[in-house]
């Protein structure tokens, strides 16, 4: 796997679990929407995440929660680019851009981002694969069934882990065809994207099988509704449930966890990694 320069040192995903901090510069994200609009608020949040030990900062300008309204390219760039530029200047952690739009990704890469987190796995915009390849960026290929608008309309699978595994294998082939080297690819089962509670649970249990695809695995359970369904609690009350999911994911082999709560997740990851034994903490 390509190494990432984190706090001045080269870190290879998989050598220790990495914590990707979520920074949504949106009005409507399901948990942090409306909190970090504007560069100053985003930088202040990033500063806090940095002090808490974040390894990657993931900037998103469009909510992909179920039923979310799409945002146009110009508006997404207006939200994301000044923040990416400011983060790159200020912090020595890799910045990732959470977008499925090729133009937004390209401008964010010009602004200094080094990772493209594409929840569509290069499917929603035909320009995306070429953009990632030309810039030598790392790409996150995530599984989603349907689109954010439709994905929670009664998703059905015969065997969710097998289906996600097959999808991810096909998307790796597509990425390779664009010229993206295999050491620039991370995979993600897409927790909550076209999945019911038991599908999400099966995918978390299925981490060892997905790891056999041979790529670093990113998992994003943070405060998602499957936790709310188990605990019958709103997003604001899902920290402990998130930490349980993060810990189990890391124990089973996840290389990167995408979270809102950086300090707590860093601590959980260190303990889970120590229990896993194969990763130093």
- Enzyme catalytic residues: 224, 258
- 220 touches ligand HH2 (CB under 6 A): yes
Which of 143, 258, 262, 268 touches ligand HH2 by CB under 6 A? 258
Does residue 268 contact residue 243 with C-beta atoms inside 8 Å? Answer: yes
CB proximity list for 200: less than 8 A, separation 6 or greater: 191, 192, 221, 224, 226
Burial 237-258 (b: 16+ CB within 10 A, else e): ebbebbbebbbbbbbbbbbbbb
The residue nearest ligand HH2 at its CB is: 220
- 31 touches ligand HH2 (CB under 6 A): yes
Which of 55, 76, 85, 98 touches ligand HH2 by CB under 6 A? 98
Q: What sign does the CA torsion over 174, 126, 13, 219 have?
A: negative
Within 10 A of 183 (CB to CB), how many other CB atoms are there? 13
- 188 touches ligand HH2 (CB under 6 A): yes
Q: What sign does the CA torsion over 8, 12, 17, 21 have?
A: positive
- 147 touches ligand HH2 (CB under 6 A): no
Which of 59, 105, 191, 207 touches ligand HH2 by CB under 6 A? 191
CB proximity list for 180: less than 8 A, separation 6 or greater: 129, 132, 133, 139
Which of 1, 64, 116, 249 touches ligand HH2 by CB under 6 A? 64
**Least distance (Å) from ligand HH2 to the CB of residue 200?**
10
Stretch that binds ligand HH2, among 45-53, 56-64, 168-176, 236-244 (CB under 6 A): 56-64
Written as six digits, the tokens of 60 are: 């998103």
- What residues numbered 109-138 form the site for ligand HH2, per CB under 6 A? 117, 119
- 26 touches ligand HH2 (CB under 6 A): yes
Judged by DSSP in three states, 164 sits in helix
Written as six digits, the tokens of 256 are: 């990167």
**Least distance (Å) from ligand HH2 to the CB of residue 258?**
5
- Nearer to ligand HH2 by C-beta: 31 or 91? 31
**Least distance (Å) from ligand HH2 to the CB of residue 96?**
9
d(CA 170, CA 121): 10
CB proximity list for 227: less than 8 A, separation 6 or greater: 221, 233, 238, 241, 242, 245
- 200 touches ligand HH2 (CB under 6 A): no
Stretch that binds ligand HH2, among 72-80, 86-94, 163-171, 188-196 (CB under 6 A): 188-196
* C-alpha dist (Å) from residue 57 to 45, 84, 138, 204: 10, 9, 14, 23
Stretch that binds ligand HH2, among 4-12, 46-54, 63-71, 197-205 (CB under 6 A): 63-71
**Least distance (Å) from ligand HH2 to the CB of residue 99?**
10
- 142 touches ligand HH2 (CB under 6 A): yes
Interface residues with ligand HH2 (CB under 6 A) are: 22, 24, 26, 29-31, 60, 63-65, 98, 117, 119, 140, 142, 188, 190-191, 218, 220, 258
């Amino acid at each position: 796997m390509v190494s990432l320069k984190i706090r001045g040192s080269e870190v290879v995903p998989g050598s220790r679990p990495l914590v990707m901090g979520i920074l949504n510069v949106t009005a409507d994200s399901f948990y942090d929407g409306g909190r970090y609009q504007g560069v100053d608020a985003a930088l202040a949040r990033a500063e806090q995440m940095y002090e808490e030990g974040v390894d990657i900062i993931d900037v998103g300008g469009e909510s992909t929660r179920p039923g979310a309204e799409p945002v146009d390219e110009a508006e997404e760039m207006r939200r994301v680019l000044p923040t990416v530029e400011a983060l790159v200047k200020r912090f020595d952690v890799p910045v990732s851009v959470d977008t499925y739009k090729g133009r937004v990704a390209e401008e964010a890469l010009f602004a200094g981002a080094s990772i493209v987190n594409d929840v569509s796995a290069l499917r929603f915009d035909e320009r995306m694969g070429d953009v990632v390849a030309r810039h030598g960026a790392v790409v996150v290929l995530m599984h989603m069934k349907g689109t954010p608008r439709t994905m929670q309309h009664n998703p059905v699978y015969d065997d969710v882990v097998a289906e996600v595994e097959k999808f991810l294998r096909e998307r790796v082939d597509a990425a390779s065809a664009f010229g993206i080297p295999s050491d620039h690819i991370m995979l993600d089962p897409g927790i909550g994207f076209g999945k019911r509670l038991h599908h999400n649970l099966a995918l978390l249990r299925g981490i060892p099988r997905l790891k056999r695809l041979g790529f670093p695995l990113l998992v994003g359970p943070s405060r998602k509704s499957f936790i709310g369904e188990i605990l019958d609690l709103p997003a604001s009350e899902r920290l402990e449930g998130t930490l349980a999911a993060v810990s189990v994911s890391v124990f089973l082999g996840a290389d990167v966890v995408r979270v809102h709560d950086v300090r707590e997740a860093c601590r959980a990851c260190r303990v889970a990694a120590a229990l896993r034994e194969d990763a130093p903490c």
